[in-house]
Each structure stands twice: as C-alpha cells, then as structure tokens.
C-alpha cells in the first residue's frame, strides 16, 4: 500500500514538474510578485528618506533674502533633492510647469517676488507660497514635502519677524505698567519671557504665510482629482490585459481541433486570419473599458476629462497592445499549461511593474525606468493625462504611439512564430 502511494505521488510530481506552465504559476509568479511588490513598496515607505529622496523643483523670484535662506536649508535635507536651475539658468514658474507637464518631475515650489517684503510687513495680506503639483501625486509624496518645506519656511519667517515681535511685546507690556512702579520690573521680564515662547510671537501662526497648490498651467483641472479618478484607470488596464489568457487558450483550442489547418485552404492571408481571430477580443476589451469607466462615473462620480477622442485613442491602443500580447503568447507557448501559466505571470507582474498596484513615481528610480518597457505604464499615463490631468488629444499622442508600437511588436513576433498546424 505504501509503495503504491509512493509510486502515485512520484508520478504526479513528474507530471507537475514536466509542465513549465504549472511551474510558472506555482513558483515563478509568487517569486516575481514578491520581488516586484517588495521593491516597489519599499519606495512607498522610504519616500522622502535619505535612500529615496523626493525631487523638488524650486523657482525663487523673491527680492529679499528669506526665500534663499529657506532654499539653502532645504538643500541640506537628506530626504529632498532641490533643483533650482536648468541649463545653468534659474528656474521660473514656466519652466516648472513644462518639466511637470512632460513627466520629468512631479512637484514644484514657487516663491513670489514680494515674499520677504510681506513677511517683514506682517500685514493682513501675507506672503503666498505656491506648490505646483502633478494631480496624480498622492499624499504619500506630498505629505513629507509639505512637512519639510513648511517647517523651514515658518522657521526662517519667524526669525525674520522676531525683532519686530520682540519690540511689540515690550510695547504691549510697558503700556500696561504704572510709570513709577519699579517693583514691576521682575514681572515685566517674566511676562516678556512668556510672550517669547507663545505662538503669537515666534510660532507658526504669527508668520501669516498662505500655502496653495496648483496644477501646472496647461492642465485643465476644475476640481481636485479623487482617489477613484486615479484608481479606476489602473484597475481598468489590469482587467484589460487579463484578456491575454482567454485569447491564447482560445487559439490553442482551435489549433487542437485543426481549425487553423482547414482555414489555410481558404483564400486569405495568415495576417488576415489572425486579425480576424483578434477582432472579437479587441471589441470585448473596448466593452470592458466602457463598462469600467461607466461604473466609475455612476458609482464614484469621477470625471473623464475634456476630450473624448483622446480617451478613445488611449482605449483603442491599450486594447491593441493587450490583444497583441495574447497572440504572441499563443504563438510562443507549446501547451495549454504554458499558455495559462505565462499569461497569469505576465498579467500580474507587468501590472505591478507598470504602476497598477503601486504608483510608479514612488518606486525606486531603476524601477521607474523599467516600468517604461511595459505597455501598462504607458496606458496608465495616457489615461491619467486625460482623466486626471485634463489634457487633450495632442498631449496623449506619445503614449498612444508607444502602445501601438507594443501592439505591432507583439503582433509581428506572433506572425513570425505562429504555427498553424
């Protein structure tokens, strides 16, 4: 009996390990998922630390000295990389807008010309500091930036205002004392010491600085994007690329039944045959996208941007890339198990690497570069350009071109390696 159990066990293990698809599903996919997600999430928790500093663009138009003192202090902060020049020229608001628009950076800081003047004046119209922020950036990045930046601004502003505040404190105390009452000297000194430690003299509430956040000029943002407005596109792409398993297995079944062999007798090219096979799945992808965005609009009340043609173009090229990838897997894999395992492996790994589960901008720098080799990252950037950043058709042409490039590459490899028999 034990020998029989042993023999059956060995037989099953041999069958399992003979299938590369099973191996990829059971072992390779968990390993890849752990590697990708652990490294990516490390960026989330380390964002704003010495190991993963946040790049901050800074434009200083201040005619005084306070803003420059703040910038000098920020340059010594380990969690920030201050960028205040480009090609040996000082950055201005227009340069910051352009750098954020093209995706090179995500956050900028602008000091106005009257920054020092208004701080020293301490009038009702206080100084205004502007953050220029890519709308797709979440609090996991903005939180550390606000904390570090505003702490140094308030400190330098308080120091600049201190002489006037000290004098005001003396004047306030002395006006309430009898002129000849020398016995009140010690209480006066004690009161002055107390005033020096209160927020209304040297604290943050005394500076009168206002902080505001704006999107770069050129982005049509009518209201702050919600989390759903940023998550719906990501999970839509995740769902669209799951079509690759259904497509690959469908082709495998047709090949197993001999359908492709019989179709070769018909007067049509192999390219036409494969495109005809892809078209139903392409239509299904477009229906998926429309359905998921409809749920986002009806349930979460998200905005879909201002340019329906731009949204349509990104949707079409995303579906084309997903279908091309499914066809390439069908052409390269040899068994049903391989198709199933590789499809699942790629669906999950590419989604994680492309920013579907963790924002690309908080990943380590090498992973941000690596994400560009995935169609997922280009699709997400395209959808976010339209939905989150309010951009139009001309702005998403680079992303659409990249997605179409992926589609043609996948389709070309599939056409080259496809076995019809």
Three-state secondary structure call for residue 394:
helix
Q: Say yes or no to pLDDT of 20 above 70.
A: no
Query: How far apart are the C-alpha atoms of 22 and 30, rounded to whole Å?
Result: 12
Q: What is the CA radius of gyration of the chain?
A: 30
Q: Say yes or no to pLDDT of 121 above 70.
A: yes
Query: How far apart are the C-alpha atoms of 346 and 329, rounded to whole Å?
Result: 10
Q: Which two tokens stand for residue 283?
A: 């239509």
Task: Give the H or E element holding residue 226.
Answer: none
The least confident of 164-168, 286-290, 297-301, 374-378 is 164-168
DSSP state of 103: T
Q: Say yes or no to pLDDT of 176 above 70.
A: no
Q: Given the DSSP bridges, would you call strands 107-111 and 128-133 parallel, antiparallel or unpaired? A: antiparallel
Q: What is residue 203's predicted lDDT score, i.e. its pLDDT?
A: 43
Rounded mean pLDDT of 309-335? 92
Average pLDDT, the chain: 79
Measuring CA to CA, which residue among 271, 261, 236, 241 is closest to residue 342?
241
Task: Give the H or E element holding residue 255.
Answer: helix 243-257
Measuring CA to CA, which residue among 268, 302, 351, 14 is closest to residue 135?
302
Angle at 164 between CA 162 and CA 169, to 5 degrees: 90
Q: Say yes or no to pLDDT of 205 above 60.
A: no
Q: Say yes or no to pLDDT of 396 above 90.
A: yes
Query: How far apart are the C-alpha atoms of 191 and 280, rounded to whole Å?
Result: 81
Taking only the tens place, the pLDDT of each residue in 254-291 is: 777 776 677 666 666 777 777 777 888 899 999 999 99
pLDDT band at 57 (very low <50, low <70, confident <90, very high): very high
The whole-angstrom distance between residue 176's C-alpha and the CA centroid of its chain comes to: 58
Cβ neighbours of 28 (radius 10 Å): 16
Biggest distance spanned by C-alpha atoms of the chain: 118
Place of tokens 């380390």: 46
Buried/exposed code over 251-272 (b: 16+ C-beta within 10 A; e: otherwise): bbebbeeeebeeeeeeeeeeee
- The set of residues, in sequence order, having a beta carbon less than 8 Å from that of 327 and lying 6+ positions away, is 247, 248, 251, 274, 277, 278, 410, 411, 414, 418
Q: What is residue 200's predicted lDDT score, i.e. its pLDDT?
A: 44
Three-state secondary structure call for residue 54:
strand
Indicate the domain borders of the chain: 54-214, 227-417
* Residues 58, 386 contacting (CB under 8 angstroms): no
pLDDT band at 61 (very low <50, low <70, confident <90, very high): very high
What predicted TM-score, i.e. pTM, was given to this entire model?
Answer: 0.77
What percent of the chain is predicted at pLDDT more than 90?
A: 29
Q: What is residue 181's predicted lDDT score, i.e. its pLDDT?
A: 52
Enter the CATH code of domain 54-214. Answer: 3.40.1710
Rounded mean pLDDT of 7-23? 59
Q: Say yes or no to pLDDT of 148 above 80.
A: yes
Q: Say yes or no to pLDDT of 16 above 60.
A: no
Taking only the tens place, the pLDDT of each residue in 325-358 is: 999 998 888 878 788 878 888 888 898 888 888 7
* Residues 134, 57 contacting (CB under 8 angstroms): no
Q: What is residue 363's predicted lDDT score, i.e. its pLDDT?
A: 79
Rounded mean pLDDT of 114-128? 81
Long-range contacts from 344-349, C-beta under 8 angstroms, 24+ separation: 344/24, 344/25, 344/29, 344/245, 345/24, 345/25, 345/28, 345/29, 345/32, 346/241, 346/244, 347/238, 347/241, 347/242, 347/244, 347/245, 348/29, 348/32, 348/33, 349/29, 349/32, 349/33, 349/36
């Amino acid at each position: 009996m034990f020998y029989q159990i042993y023999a059956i066990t060995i037989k099953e293990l041999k069958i399992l390990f003979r299938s590369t698809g099973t191996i990829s599903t059971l072992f390779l996919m968990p390993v890849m998922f752990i590697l990708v997600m652990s490294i990516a999430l490390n960026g989330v928790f380390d964002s704003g630390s010495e190991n993963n500093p946040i790049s901050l663009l800074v434009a200083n138009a201040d005619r005084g000295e306070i803003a420059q003192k703040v910038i000098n202090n920020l340059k010594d902060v380990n969690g920030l990389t201050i960028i205040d020049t480009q090609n040996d020229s000082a950055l201005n608001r227009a340069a910051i807008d352009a750098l954020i628009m093209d995706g090179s950076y995500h956050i900028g800081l602008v000091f106005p010309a009257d920054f020092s003047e208004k701080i020293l004046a301490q009038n009702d119209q206080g100084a205004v500091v502007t953050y220029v922020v890519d709308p797709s950036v979440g609090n996991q990045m903005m939180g550390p930036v606000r904390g570090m930046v505003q702490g140094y601004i308030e400190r330098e502003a308080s120091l600049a205002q201190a002489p006037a505040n000290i004098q005001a404190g003396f004047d306030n105390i002395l006006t309430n004392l009898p002129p000849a009452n020398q016995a009140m000297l010690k209480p006066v000194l004690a009161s002055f010491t107390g005033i020096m430690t209160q927020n209304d003299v040297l604290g943050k509430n005394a500076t009168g600085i206002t902080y505001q956040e704006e999107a770069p000029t050129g982005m049509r943002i009518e209201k702050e994007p919600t989390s759903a407005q940023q998550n719906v596109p990501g999970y839509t792409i995740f769902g669209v690329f799951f079509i690759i398993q259904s497509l690959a297995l469908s082709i495998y079944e047709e090949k197993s039944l001999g359908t492709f062999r019989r179709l070769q007798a018909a007067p049509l090219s192999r390219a036409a045959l494969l495109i005809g096979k892809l078209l139903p799945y392409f239509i299904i992808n477009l229906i998926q996208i429309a359905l998921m965005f409809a749920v986002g609009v009806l349930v979460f009340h998200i905005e879909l941007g201002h340019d329906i043609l731009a949204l349509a173009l990104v949707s079409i090229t995303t579906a084309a890339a997903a279908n091309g990838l499914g066809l390439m897997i069908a052409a390269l894999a040899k068994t049903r198990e391989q198709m199933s395992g590789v499809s699942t492996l790629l669906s999950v790994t590419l989604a994680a690497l492309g920013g579907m589960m963790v924002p690309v901008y908080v990943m380590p720098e090498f992973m941000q570069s690596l994400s560009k080799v995935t169609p997922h990252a280009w699709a997400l950037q395209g959808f976010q350009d339209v939905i989150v950043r309010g951009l139009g058709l001309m702005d998403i042409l680079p992303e659409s071109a990249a997605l179409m490039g992926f589609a043609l590459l996948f389709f070309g490899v599939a056409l080259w390696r496809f076995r019809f028999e």
